[in-house]
Amino acid sequence: MNTSLRRLPLCIALAALFSAAVPAFAQDAGGDTEIVAEATVSRDRLVDRYAEAAGSEDLAAGLIDGLRKGGEFTVQEAVTTTTTNADGTTTTTTTMVDRTVANPAGPMGWGEVNISLSLAQALVDAGTYASLSTALAGVPTTVTNADGTTTTTVEGGVLAMRADGMGWGAIAKELGFNLGSLISASNKSERAVAAADKKAERTAKAEKAEKAAKPEKAERTAKAERPDRVAKVDRPERPTRPERIERPQRPERPERGGRP
């Protein structure tokens, strides 16, 4: 009985410690849940959003589908190389290169795909990485060992940090970004583009309607400016013929007979 009483304070202390740790964990998870919900958009919108950074809509779709599926996947990447010629001029060439992206974090929802790419694009814009694929998977470095074998190590990468168990907010903070600001800026930019597209569509419809109405308006104007038809002039009435004058009757001739 006494032993149970002695253990009671320890149990209470452990329970208090556990309960104190729960709110911090729940807050981190809740923060990730909220930002993931805010970042969740359709696949088509993600393709439109990252097409320029990836190089084309097809290249963006490859990255998005690979992150969505999880595991290791291969994407194509446009690599531009500038070489100096013997005469001092330069030649710039662009070739498509296959890049292998390892996603140890596993399959992702659309919100996590958006967050991964938004962080990768921020790193590319900052000049830290050359492309979205390297910002996601890190930069591989191959070293030749003394025995002739090679060892390849990968440094950095958003996906590796996520696979280590870091939350999205913590990853962004580690990389020097504010995740909420990144997602909000992307959404705001997208809404601005959508609003501009709608405005352009309305303007095009108005111009089309105005153009269609021009012939009808011109016809109405022409009709309005056309002089009224000249009223039909009545012909003058013919003068009435004068009544026929009756001739005076001739005196009757005396009847023929003997002389008186």
Residue 240: inside a domain? no
How many domains does the chain divide into?
1
Q: What's the pTM?
A: 0.59
Residue 68: inside a domain? yes
Strands 139-144 and 71-84: unpaired
| C-beta of residue 175 within 8 angstroms of C-beta of residue 157 | no
Q: Dig out the tokens for 74 from the structure.
A: 């291969």
Residue 122: inside a domain? yes
Residue 230: inside a domain? no
CA distance 189 to 37: 18
Mean pLDDT of the chain: 76
pLDDT of 68 higher than 70: yes
How crowded is the C-beta side of 39, counted as CA atoms within 13 Å? 25
Which positions ≥6 away from 126 have C-beta within 8 Å? Answer: 176
Q: Which domain holds residue 30?
A: 19-83+92-200
- Tell me what pLDDT residue 186 has: 79
Of 38-42, 45-49, 95-99, 189-193, minimum mean pLDDT range: 189-193
Residue 71: inside a domain? yes
Which has more pLDDT, 255 or 173?
A: 173
Residue 37: inside a domain? yes
pLDDT digits (tens, 9 = 90+) for 4-37: 444 434 443 434 433 333 333 333 444 589 999 9
pLDDT of 42 higher than 90: yes
Torsion of CA 248, 250, 251, 257, to 10 degrees: -170
Residue 9: inside a domain? no
| C-beta of residue 154 within 8 angstroms of C-beta of residue 160 | yes
- Tell me what pLDDT residue 54 has: 92
pLDDT band at 97 (very low <50, low <70, confident <90, very high): confident
Residue 256: inside a domain? no
pLDDT of 136 higher than 80: yes
High-pLDDT (> 70) share of the chain, %: 62
